[in-house]
Structure 1
Amino acid sequence: MTTTTRLTALAAPLLMLIYGINRYVDGLDGDRGNGIAWDIGHTAFFFAFVLFAVLAVSLHRIVPVPERWQRHLRDGALVAALIGAASFLWVTLTDLVPAIPTGLPEWAMAALPALFQVGMLTLLGQLVAARRVPIWTPLVMLFGFMLIVVNLDLLPFASVVILAGLSPLARKEPVSSGSPRPVGP
């Protein structure tokens, strides 16, 4: 794996963990928002998704694509991941700076971030198919993000789960899950 891949696979979930911890601390008084923990947490979350976007680009570069349809799938996955990451960034920015109107309908604020998962899981799935990461990598990452959907209070735990899921990307050498697959028919 590249240095960028290794660093972003570790740093992005760790920044999410910082957000989760600060979100918890911010809520100790029964009110969330407009405090130092809120600002630190949201800033960490913002930078986490900057790094997740960088990770998506990095994965896009290392996904082997012997067939044309695989290139299209890889490229579409990158677009989806970047739109989703940009949506997370926009939502976080409007939380940090309430004077900025969201400018998006409620359904878009909820649906567009899901594209991040679709794109990332597709890229990771292609790496699984190429036997560059184990099959549990995208599954564990998906589980981590599903925990956040279930309850935002699970964010610290979910961040650790996502970190565990992305841990094979932090290795210098790809994790092989068997002999390489033959390319072609």
Structure 2
Amino acid sequence: MTTTDSRVTASPYAWLRPVAVTAALLLLGYGVLRLIGGLDGPRDRSAWPWMVGHTLFLFGIVAFGAVIVGLHSLLRATSPRLGVLDDVAAVAGLVGATAFVWVILGDLFPRFADAVATPDLVLLGGPALFELGVLTLLVRTAVARLLPAWAPILVLVGFGSIAVNLDLLPIGAALVLAGLVPLGRH
């Protein structure tokens, strides 16, 4: 917030923090529902925890796409020196988010999966591009002193724990959430 002529005006990036927190909370909800769905044996794709969880995951990834765009815009406005790096990170993150959306839609709608084959490159490269893009933008945001230095580290550990074992999704999502909460406070 800045003061101009005794009026308080909101930053054009005020939306970024609530969207980032929402994205992480949706990921956390997916992780919790994934665990609930697996408590009684193999996960049933038609059971409500699986369907609702994947829907939360889909909305979370879309929200992360908005966060990528917001971080990119914020960095361009405040620290344009490394614009090419920010551009590459944003494109990588958005390509990765798109790959996630593709896979989630295939999980939720089997006819989509049958109609549109999912290449292995999407399954393997998508998450890596997404995480690399988000982390690069968060590190750049921390370097610009718009985020504490520890925040990207928490997000990295959160993403890493999810990559190690999907059953750690709730813990990983909580770490991602903790890393994103400080957005917009500096």
- State the TM-score, normalizing by the size of structure 2: 0.86
1:149 pairs with 150, 160, 163, which one? 163
Conserved 8 A contact 1:83-1:113: no
Question: 1:94 and 2:96 equivalent?
Answer: no
**SS class of match (1:168):** coil
Runs of 4+ in 1 over 4 A off after TM superposition: none
Task: Could you tell me which runs of 5 or more consecutive residues in structure 1 were left unpaired when the two chains were aligned.
Answer: 175-185
**2:84 alignment partner in structure 1:** 72
How far off is 1:103 after superposition? 1.9
**2:66 alignment partner in structure 1:** 54
**2-structure distance, mates of 1:66, 1:5:** 19
Conserved 8 A contact 1:4-1:55: no
The letter of the residue matching 1:164 is A
**2-structure distance, mates of 1:153, 1:66:** 39
Moved more, 35-44 or 112-121: 112-121
Query: In the TM superposition, what are the counterparts of 1:124-163 in structure 2 within 5 Å?
Result: 124-163=138-177
2:20 pairs with 9, 13, 34, which one? 9
**2-structure distance, mates of 1:104, 1:43:** 19
The letter of the residue matching 2:108 is L
Task: Could you tell me which runs of 5 or more consecutive residues in structure 2 were left unpaired when the two chains were aligned.
Answer: 1-10
**2-structure distance, mates of 1:72, 1:15:** 30
Moved more, 136-145 or 1-10: 1-10
**2:95 alignment partner in structure 1:** 83
**2-structure distance, mates of 1:108, 1:42:** 18
2:37 pairs with 19, 26, 51, which one? 26
The letter of the residue matching 1:165 is G
2:120 pairs with 103, 106, 122, which one? 106
**2-structure distance, mates of 1:92, 1:150:** 19
**SS class of match (1:30):** coil
Q: String of CA shifts for 1:69-94, please: whole Å, max 9, x gaps.
A: x1111111110110011111111111
Task: Identify which of structures 1 and 2 has the higher relative contact order when contacts are C-alpha pairs closer than 8 Å and 6+ apart.
Answer: 1
Q: Percent identity?
A: 43
**1:178 alignment partner in structure 2:** none
Q: How many residues align?
A: 170
Moved more, 148-157 or 127-136: 127-136
**SS class of match (1:99):** helix
